[in-house]
Structure 1
Amino acid sequence: MDPFPPPDADAAAAPRDDVDEVTDRADAYAAAPLLNCLLREVAEPVEQPAAPSARRVYRLPGGRLLRVYGQRRPAEPEVHAEGGWRRVGHPELVKLVAEELVRHTGLSNPDLPTEMIDSRDAVAALLTARARVAPPHDPYLRSEQSLITGHPHHPAPKARGGGPVADWLPYAPEAHARFPLILLGVRSDTVVEDGDTSALDALGAAPPGYRLLPAHPWQLDLAAPALAPAFADGRLIRLGETPFETWPTAAIRTVYAPDRDLFLKFSLDVRITNDIRRLWRHDLLKLRRTDTAAREALAAVDGPAAWLSDTGYRTAAFAFEELAVLVRDGLRGHLLPGATPLLAAGLAEGFEGSPLDGAPDPAAWWEAYLAQVVPPALAAFGDHGVVLEAHLQNTLVAVDADGTPVQALFRDAEGVKLLPEVSRAAGWERLVYCLVVNHLAEIAAALAERTPGLDLWPAVRRELSRHDLPEAAALLTSPTLPGKTNLLLRWTGADGADARYRPLPNPLAG
C-alpha cells in the first residue's frame, strides 16, 4: 500500500512526465516524516477535527499556523498568510522548520537542513531505481527492502551521508540491491575476535598465515585511505568476492545470504538517522553479555518467540571498528515450520503481498499479532531485566499460510539494555517507546487505514492486562506515552543514543 501513489494522469491539469511524477512523490515521502517530527515535538494543535479527511491546524513556536492533510503520513502542508492558506513545497518546508527550531531552541544548525534535502534527494533516486528493477520474489526480503518512508518520525530518514548517489545506490535495500561481499585476508597475528565466528571461515579460503574477513564494498571504499598502509605492508590482502550475492536488509549495513541462511552486520561510516553506523568498540566488547542475556530471556519465554543471536565478531587490531563484522543467526533454526517471517517495519510501510492487505478479520489478525509480540518483550523485562529494542526494525513477525501471525523474532544485541545497568524506570520508558509508540502504534495505524472505524487499542489494553507487571498496569492509566524527539535531538547535536522524550496522549488510557 503506497501512501503516496503516482498522480492520476487522467486527473492532471496538464501532461506530466516521469521526472515530474518522481519529484512530486519524493517531496511527499520526504515531507511526511519531517512534518510528523515538527508536529509532535514543537507544534501545538489548534483544530483537530474527528473526520480523517479533514485538515488539522497547528500553531508553530513563532506563531504561524500550519495545516496538513492526514494523520499518520501528513501531506500537503499549508501556512496561513495574508488571510489565506498557501501551499508549502519541500524546500520551503525545510526552511520553515529551521526557522521554527531557531525560535524554539535559540540554537542554529546549518547541517540538519542539508541532511533533510539529502534525504529527499535520496528518496527521488530510490524511486527512480525501483521503477527499473523487480522486487525480490521472497516475501521476507521484500518486506526488508520496502522502506521508502523509513523512520516515520525522523527529519531525514533516508539521508546517506551526502555522498554521490553512485556511491551508495548499488547497496541500497530500498532499490532492491543485491551484491557479493569482498573477501579479505587479515594477517593472523592481527586478528581480533570473540564468540563463534566459524561461519566466516566457510565463506572462502585464506592463504597460510591469514584469516578470512568479509567486507561490505561500500565500507571498504569509505575506509580506503585508512586501510592503504595495511594493504601496502601485507597485513591485509584481497581475496576476491563471495561466490554468492547478499541482500541488504532494512538496516542497510546488515546483509542476508539466503543460500547460507546467514546474517552479517558491518561497520558503515555513514550517518543514518541519528548515528554514524559503525560497530563501535565499546558495543562489541559488551556483545557477549547482552546477547547471552537476551538469548536466555527469550528461551525462557513460554511460546514460540525467538532471539536471533549475534554469535560473535571478527576484525583486525589495526582497524578494529572500520573492518569489524558481526555474525548473526539465520532464520531457519528458529522459525516455526511453514511460517514466513516479515519485517514489522515492512508491515507498517506496506509491500506487495503484505498480510495487512488481505486480512479477512482485521480485529482477529491484530489480536494474534499482539499475542506474539507483546508477551515476550514484557517477560524479558519483568522476569530477566532485559530491555529489548522491540521497535519496528528489530522485530520480525512470522505468519502462517493464511497470513495470521504465529511467532515473533527479535534481533540486535547492540540495542539491548540490561537492568540494573540502566534504571528500571529508564528501561521501562525505553521499552514503552520502542514497543508501544514506535511499533504497535504504527502497525495499528496502518491496519486502521485499511479498516476505517476499527478501534484497535482495546485489544492492546486486554493484552497488557494479562501480564502481572506493575509497570504494565500503570501504563493503562497513565495519561501520556513517551515520544522520542528525533528532530530536537538532531538539531541540538545530542548524542544519537541520548534519547529524550516528549509526552504524547496515551490511547490506552481510554
Structure 2
Amino acid sequence: MHLPATAAEEAVAAELAGLAEIAPTGPIGPVSPVGARPDGLGSAYAAALPGARAAVLTRLWRAFACEPLPWITHRERSSGALALRIASGSRLEGPHPDPYATTFSAVRASAPPVTELLLDGRPYRRASLLVAALGLPYGEEFAAELDESTASLALSRAGQPACPEAGDLAAWEWEQRVVDGHPYHPNCRSRPGFTVAEQLAYAPEHRPVVTLGLAAVRASECRVTGEWPDRWREAGRILVPVHPWQAEHVVKQEDGPEVRPGPAAHPLMALRTLSPADGGPHVKTALSTRLTSSVRDISVYSIETAAAVSAFARSLSERLDGRLHVTRTLGAVTAGTPDLAAVLREPPEAYADRGAGERVLPVAALALTPYARSDAWRAGFARLALSVCLRVLDLGVALEAHGQNLLVVLSADGTPQRLVYRDLADIRISPARLARHGLAAPALSGRLITDDVALLRRKLFGSLVAGALGSTAGSAAALAADLAAAAPGLPSTADTRALLTGPLPTKALTLMRLSPGVPGDQWAELDNPLTGG
C-alpha cells in the first residue's frame, strides 16, 4: 500500500533534488560526496522508503515485545501473534517477533519485516505515528526521531552497490557495507543535525573520502597520553584531529581554534572513526551530536585512562595464546573538553597476514557473506568468540564485543582464525577476578572498574550473544544451534553456565530513550534460545 511521505521523508527528497545545483562548503572544504551525486539517487531513495519504514517499525515492535516498558501492563502470546495491553486500556497487536532476527540486508533477510501493527483494531504502518497515538511520555520527541531515522535509513540504502559475497575488499570497505545501523535500536540511522549533503559527505555507507581537520591548540591547554606523532605537532602546539562536521558545527561555533585541512580518510562503521587514506593509525574523533542514543564526544576520563587501559588490555590478551589481539591505543589528546579530543588507534588489519590471504572483517559484516549461511562455519565462529571472550571475562574483563568492536581474522578459505578487539573506552574491569588469577589491576578508578557480577555479564552477554552472534545467526533457532555446537568447547565456569542456561541480557534501548532522566544503561532479558526461557 502506498503511504504519503512524512515531513522528514519529504525534506530528504527535497534536499536530494537540490544537491544537483548546490554544493555546500564547510570550513575545511566542500560538503559533498566524492564525485558527482549518483544518478537516480532520488528515485532510489523513494524506492527504499517502504523497506526503511518496515525496518524501523520492526525494531520498535521488538522493543515493545521484549523491554520492561512501564506502560505495558500485560503481554499475551498466541500462535504466531502477540498482543500487548497498554496502561491506558488500549490493545496493540502484531506478529510474534523473533528477538534474534535482526538481519535486514538485501543479501540476507532473517525474517519478514513487520509492516503493520494494530492499535485497538486500527492499522499503523509507521513507527512515528504509532508512538504518537500511544501518547507516551517523551513520545513526541521520540516520534520525530523515528521519522528522521526512517528517512536516513532509506537514504543509506539508496544507491548501494551489489555486495560481493566473498570479494577481496579492504577492511574499511567491509565496514562501509554495513548499512542498516544498530540491529536493535529504532533510531538505527538517526543523525540529528546532519543535512542530506553532510550525510552523503561523511557517512560510511555513502563511501566518501573525508578531509579531517587539524585544530592547532597550545600544548599547555592539552592533556596528552601515550605517544603523539611529530607530524601533528608544531612549535608549542598540538594538532588535534577534528571531524569536519564537528569543525563546522561545534569548534567554529564556540570560537575555538582555527581548523586547517588535514589528511584524507575513509569513515568507518562508527562514522566518527576514520581510516587515513594513506594508511596508519585509525583516528577516533569527537562528534557532539546524538547518534542512536548517545552523544559521541570523548570524555576527559577516556583520554586520561587511555594509555593505562591499552597497556593493561594488551598484557591480558597475551594470555589467550594468540586467539585475541587488542588494538593498541597509540596516543590520545584532549583540549580540556569532550568536544575537542581525539584518539589514535592501531588498525585491526595489522593483525592479518595479507601475504597468506588473511583478511579482517567486523563481525557486523558477517551477515553479508556466505559464511553466515553455513551452519558449520557459524558454529566454529561461535566457539572461537565465546571461548575467548568467556576466558577474558573469567580473568576479569568484560569486553563490549558487539559487531562493531569485535572483528574476526579469516584465512584465505574463510576459516575463522582469531579475534581482534578495538575501542577500550567502555569495557569493565574486575579487580577481584584479576586478583583470583594473580593479576594486578590497573591503577584506575571510575566507571571502568566494577566487581558487580551482573554488570560484568550484561556487558559481555548483551553485546556478544544478543548482538554479534545473534545478528550473524539471524534467528533464535540458528543461534540455539550455534550455542549448542559451541558449548562443549567452552570453559567450565559460572559465567558459562549463566550464558547457556539463563535469560540473555540486551540493552533496553527504547526504554532508555523514553527515560531521559534515568542515567546509565537499562536492560531487558531475552529468552535463551537454548532453553526457551
- TM-score (structure 1 length as normaliser): 0.80
| 1:88-144 superposed Cα distances (whole Å, 9 cap, x missing partner) | 222xx3232355473xxxx34432211111111111222335479999972522331
The CA distance in 1 between the partners of 2:245 and 2:213, in whole Å, is 10
Shift in Å, 1:163:
3.6
Question: Contact conserved, 2:383 with 2:485, CA < 8 A, in 1?
Answer: no
Match of 1:96 among 117, 130, 133: 130
Pairs within 5 Å for 1:30-429: 30-41=56-67, 42=69, 46-47=76-77, 49=79, 56-61=81-86, 62-68=89-95, 71=98, 72-73=101-102, 74-79=113-118, 87-90=123-126, 93-100=127-134, 102=136, 107-128=137-158, 130=160, 138-198=169-229, 201-202=230-231, 207-228=234-255, 230=256, 236-242=257-263, 245-257=264-276, 259-317=278-336, 320-336=337-353, 337-348=356-367, 350=368, 354-356=369-371, 362-383=374-395, 385-420=396-431, 421-422=449-450, 423-429=452-458
How many residues in Structure 1 have an aligned counterpart in Structure 2?
A: 452
Matched, 1:462 2:488: yes
Shift in Å, 1:366:
1.6
Shift in Å, 1:508:
2.8
Q: Identity of counterpart residues, as a percentage?
A: 25
Question: Contact conserved, 1:22 with 1:124, CA < 8 A, in 2?
Answer: yes
The CA distance in 2 between the partners of 1:448 and 1:247, in whole Å, is 37
Question: Contact conserved, 2:383 with 2:487, CA < 8 A, in 1?
Answer: no
Determine the structure 2 residue equivalent to 1:473.
497
The CA distance in 2 between the partners of 1:75 and 1:293, in whole Å, is 45
Specify the SS of the correspondent of 2:404.
helix
The CA distance in 2 between the partners of 1:127 and 1:363, in whole Å, is 28
Distance of aligned partners of 1:171 and 1:22 in 2 relative to their CA distance in 1, 3 Å threshold = same
Counterpart code for 2:207: H
Shift in Å, 1:402:
1.5
Tell me, which stretches of 5 or more residues in structure 1 are unaligned? Answer: 1-15, 50-54, 231-235
Pairs within 5 Å for 1:440-459: 440-445=469-474, 455-459=481-485
Shift in Å, 1:207:
4.8
Specify the SS of the correspondent of 2:180.
coil
Shift in Å, 1:262:
1.8
The CA distance in 1 between the partners of 2:312 and 2:495, in whole Å, is 21
The CA distance in 2 between the partners of 1:396 and 1:111, in whole Å, is 35
Specify the SS of the correspondent of 1:118.
helix
The CA distance in 1 between the partners of 2:44 and 2:150, in whole Å, is 17
Shift in Å, 1:46:
4.0
Shift in Å, 1:177:
2.1
The CA distance in 2 between the partners of 1:214 and 1:134, in whole Å, is 33
The CA distance in 1 between the partners of 2:406 and 2:124, in whole Å, is 36
Question: Contact conserved, 2:211 with 2:261, CA < 8 A, in 1?
Answer: no
The CA distance in 1 between the partners of 2:236 and 2:92, in whole Å, is 67
Distance of aligned partners of 1:476 and 1:221 in 2 relative to their CA distance in 1, 3 Å threshold = same
Specify the SS of the correspondent of 2:216.
strand
Question: Contact conserved, 1:69 with 1:76, CA < 8 A, in 2?
Answer: no
Shift in Å, 1:448:
6.9
The CA distance in 2 between the partners of 1:299 and 1:258, in whole Å, is 30
Shift in Å, 1:219:
1.0
Determine the structure 2 residue equivalent to 1:489.
512
Distance of aligned partners of 1:368 and 1:124 in 2 relative to their CA distance in 1, 3 Å threshold = same
The CA distance in 2 between the partners of 1:279 and 1:407, in whole Å, is 29
Specify the SS of the correspondent of 1:396.
strand
Distance of aligned partners of 1:175 and 1:433 in 2 relative to their CA distance in 1, 3 Å threshold = same
Shift in Å, 1:367:
2.5
Counterpart code for 2:117: E
Counterpart code for 1:264: V
- Comparing 248-257 and 29-38, the one that deviates more: 29-38
The CA distance in 2 between the partners of 1:246 and 1:202, in whole Å, is 16
Q: Which has the higher contact order (CA 8 A, sep 6+)?
A: 2
Counterpart code for 1:502: A
Shift in Å, 1:267:
0.5
Specify the SS of the correspondent of 2:530.
helix
The CA distance in 2 between the partners of 1:454 and 1:485, in whole Å, is 22
Question: Contact conserved, 1:429 with 1:482, CA < 8 A, in 2?
Answer: yes
Counterpart code for 1:216: H
Matched, 1:29 2:55: yes
Counterpart code for 2:456: G
Shift in Å, 1:167:
3.1
Matched, 1:505 2:527: yes
Counterpart code for 1:57: L
Tell me, which stretches of 5 or more residues in structure 2 are unaligned? Answer: 1-41, 103-112, 432-448
Question: Contact conserved, 1:482 with 1:502, CA < 8 A, in 2?
Answer: yes
Structure 1 vs Structure 2 CA RMSD: 3.1
The CA distance in 1 between the partners of 2:459 and 2:119, in whole Å, is 37
| 1:10-50 superposed Cα distances (whole Å, 9 cap, x missing partner) | xxxxxx9655412222212322322222222256654554x
Distance of aligned partners of 1:126 and 1:367 in 2 relative to their CA distance in 1, 3 Å threshold = closer
The CA distance in 1 between the partners of 2:48 and 2:153, in whole Å, is 9
The CA distance in 1 between the partners of 2:501 and 2:131, in whole Å, is 34
Matched, 1:437 2:466: yes
- Comparing 331-340 and 170-179, the one that deviates more: 331-340
